[in-house]
Structure 1
Amino acid sequence: MPTTHLLLALSVVFVWGTNFVVIRWGLDGLPPFLFATLRFALSALPWLLFIPRPTAPWRKIATFGVLLGVGQFGLLFLAMRSSISPGLASLVVQLQVFFTIGLSLWLMGEKVRGYQVIGLLLALAGLGVIAAHLDATVTLLGIGLVLGAAFFWSLANLTVKSLGPVNMLHFMVWSSLFAVPPLFALSWLIEGPQLMAESVRQASTLVWASVLWQAVGNTLYGYGLWNWLLARHPAATVTPLALLIPVFGMGASALSLGESLPGWKLGAAALVLMGLAVIVCWPLLHGALRRRAGSR
């Protein structure tokens, strides 16, 4: 990968990692479901007026939008409102990798590989360390909600996997439209029209900037550029860089929000990241060794 492309990939990972701090800023002025509603509304409008509809069935566009909007971000925003810190949320949600693998194995009847078991055990050990240190910054409810968000993210991944080749920027814009009605309904029923109206009226410039960044930075720039890179380089070259997302997330939370990084939290992060690294990197290493042996 050329240096310029590597820097572009790192910029996406940086945006996705530090986005957890931006979410925290947004939640300081908006209730979670309203925040998610506005985020997906601005991800769809006005962009779909200029971006053509992706070559995918309406059913799958809508399914992805609901899974990502309500399932992933709705639960993630709800958890981050008061039940888990941004740094830990950026780490725990990466367990979507294991949910994606598990669902793929179950639905496609594939065999579990030894390295997958090792990676899962390492990540579960890290999750156990987090669960053993519940306090005001991380609660059992928060862990459960973020794990739920990770599960719905994995379902969204499988939906994309079933599409075949598709322009993901177009797909993200159009699918975002289908996340808005259920999120708005949840906000109306749970948070109430009075709180919704007051929150919009009193939202600060920083809060609105956070909403806009969710749509433009996280969705259009992040997904658009990431998929541009995937179209030009092997997935095995680009995908492992996503392991840096929790690193940026925890670092940004510590620097911007003063989130503490005690030894147990760093240890938990190391275990989870080691588990993810085994899952992502072992097949790449094994394939490289086989190619080297075959060339001799």
Structure 2
Amino acid sequence: MTVRDSLLAAAVATIWGFNFVVIDWGMARHGDHAIPPLLFAAVRFTVVVFPAVLVVRRPDAPWRVVAAVGLFMSLGQFGFLYVSMAAGMPPGLAALVLQAQVVFTVLIAAGVLRELPTAGQVAGVVLGSVGLAVVAVGRGGHVPLAAMALCLLGALSWGIGNVVSRASGVRGGLSLTVWSALVVPVPLVALSLVLDGPTVVGEALASFSWQAVVSTLYTAGLASLVGYAVFNTLLSRNSPSAVVPWVLLAPVVAMTSAWLLLGERPNAAEIGGGLVLVAGVLVAVRPARRPSDDGGVADLLDRDDVAAQR
């Protein structure tokens, strides 16, 4: 990669990492004007869709594939993530735990697509699992178990979305991000109405603060649309193995910014477990010493659907 492309990759990873703090800030879960998490996610993806859907070309894929990608990569992943953060999951730790999607992707691809992982990927899954276990055990009681479980469900949904995308043969991209988001807002609003009640939803929309507006513009416009477009461009002119590892900066940025801005200082177990988890991800995404056109799990992990969460 050129110096310019490396700086762009670092910038995108920084945007994505800071994204978690912005979500927490916009949801105002500690304030008087807290927004129901599912409603807040629905607003985000409404902005992702409109007006972009009017100018971005529809992906060359069957509607069922587009809908399935939206269901798992966007609705499932972010629905669980937002609820998890509302339930007490710190932004920095959430960014880290979501990297468990690599572990889930390898395991699901092996079971569903019969794409057996390489020895390196097995080692990466083991390392990642150990890291997650250390983080979970060392959460020190300040993170509710339910919040941790919901965040892991978000990572699982992302992993399923990766496999759905891989099985369809459709490469990820800005068009798939935008059009798959069509299936997200209505179900999330419906769930929020059921779980939070029409009164709470109505009051939240009526009192939608400037803070929530800025957060939505950042998460939808900058993190999802601009970030994904830049990352996709980098993948088009560089090897995936040179670009994808930059995503691992996101949890570092998220945990650092949460520490500096929110006072959420990670404990030793979270730092140590996080380093082990990141090491596992690096091992899992490392290109195997064989041709990359065999359609195996290595190709799946190196493709641009790794960035679809944004």
Paired position in structure 2 for 1:99: 104
> C-alpha separation between the residues in 2 aligned to 1:261 and 1:166?
36
Within 5 A, what are the aligned runs for 1:199-238?
A: 199-238=204-243
Paired position in structure 1 for 2:56: 51
Paired position in structure 2 for 1:25: 25
SS in 1 for 2:116: coil
Within 5 A, what are the aligned runs for 1:238-249?
A: 238-249=243-254
Report the count of equivalent residues. Answer: 286
**1:135, distance to aligned residue in structure 2 (A):** 4.5
Q: Given that residues 73 and 162 in structure 2 are in contact (C-alpha distance below 8 angstroms), is that contact kept between their aligned partners in structure 1? A: no
**1:141 maps to 2:173:** no
TM-score (norm 1): 0.91
**1:79 maps to 2:84:** yes
Q: Given that residues 61 and 175 in structure 1 are in contact (C-alpha distance below 8 angstroms), is that contact kept between their aligned partners in structure 2? A: yes
Quick check: which has more Rg, 1 or 2?
A: 1
SS in 1 for 2:270: helix
**1:93, distance to aligned residue in structure 2 (A):** 0.6
Gaps of 5+ in 1: 289-296
Q: Given that residues 54 and 166 in structure 1 are in contact (C-alpha distance below 8 angstroms), is that contact kept between their aligned partners in structure 2? A: no
Q: Given that residues 55 and 166 in structure 1 are in contact (C-alpha distance below 8 angstroms), is that contact kept between their aligned partners in structure 2? A: no
Paired position in structure 1 for 2:295: none
**1:84, distance to aligned residue in structure 2 (A):** 1.3
> C-alpha separation between the residues in 2 aligned to 1:145 and 1:233?
35
Paired position in structure 1 for 2:261: 256
**1:10 maps to 2:10:** yes
> C-alpha separation between the residues in 2 aligned to 1:100 and 1:275?
13
Question: What letter matches 2:151 in structure 1?
Answer: V
**1:159, distance to aligned residue in structure 2 (A):** 2.3
| Higher-helix-fraction structure | 1
> C-alpha separation between the residues in 1 aligned to 2:116 and 2:234?
30
Q: Given that residues 34 and 196 in structure 1 are in contact (C-alpha distance below 8 angstroms), is that contact kept between their aligned partners in structure 2? A: yes
**1:275, distance to aligned residue in structure 2 (A):** 1.1
**1:262, distance to aligned residue in structure 2 (A):** 2.4
> C-alpha separation between the residues in 2 aligned to 1:26 and 1:135?
26
**1:273 maps to 2:278:** yes
Q: Given that residues 71 and 149 in structure 1 are in contact (C-alpha distance below 8 angstroms), is that contact kept between their aligned partners in structure 2? A: yes
**1:36, distance to aligned residue in structure 2 (A):** 0.8
Q: Given that residues 124 and 284 in structure 2 are in contact (C-alpha distance below 8 angstroms), is that contact kept between their aligned partners in structure 1? A: yes
Gaps of 5+ in 2: 29-33, 292-310
Q: Which deviates further from its counterpart, 89-98 or 271-280? A: 271-280
CA offset digits 1:52-93 (Å, max 9, x no partner): 212111111111112123210000000001331111111011
**1:150 maps to 2:155:** yes
Within 5 A, what are the aligned runs for 1:112-151?
A: 112-135=117-140, 137-151=142-156
> C-alpha separation between the residues in 2 aligned to 1:137 and 1:210?
25
Paired position in structure 2 for 1:291: none
Question: What letter matches 1:9 in structure 2?
Answer: A
Q: Given that residues 17 and 247 in structure 1 are in contact (C-alpha distance below 8 angstroms), is that contact kept between their aligned partners in structure 2? A: yes
> C-alpha separation between the residues in 1 aligned to 2:216 and 2:251?
21
**1:90 maps to 2:118:** no
Identify if the C-alpha distance between structure 1 residues 166 and 262 changes in structure 2 by more than 3 Å, giving closer, same or farther.
closer
Identify if the C-alpha distance between structure 1 residues 112 and 48 changes in structure 2 by more than 3 Å, giving closer, same or farther.
closer
> C-alpha separation between the residues in 1 aligned to 2:56 and 2:115?
37
What is the Cα-based RMSD across aligned positions, in Å?
1.8
Q: Given that residues 22 and 210 in structure 1 are in contact (C-alpha distance below 8 angstroms), is that contact kept between their aligned partners in structure 2? A: yes
Q: Given that residues 96 and 150 in structure 1 are in contact (C-alpha distance below 8 angstroms), is that contact kept between their aligned partners in structure 2? A: yes
Runs of 4+, deviation exceeding 4 Å: none
Q: Given that residues 72 and 160 in structure 2 are in contact (C-alpha distance below 8 angstroms), is that contact kept between their aligned partners in structure 1? A: yes
**1:130, distance to aligned residue in structure 2 (A):** 2.0
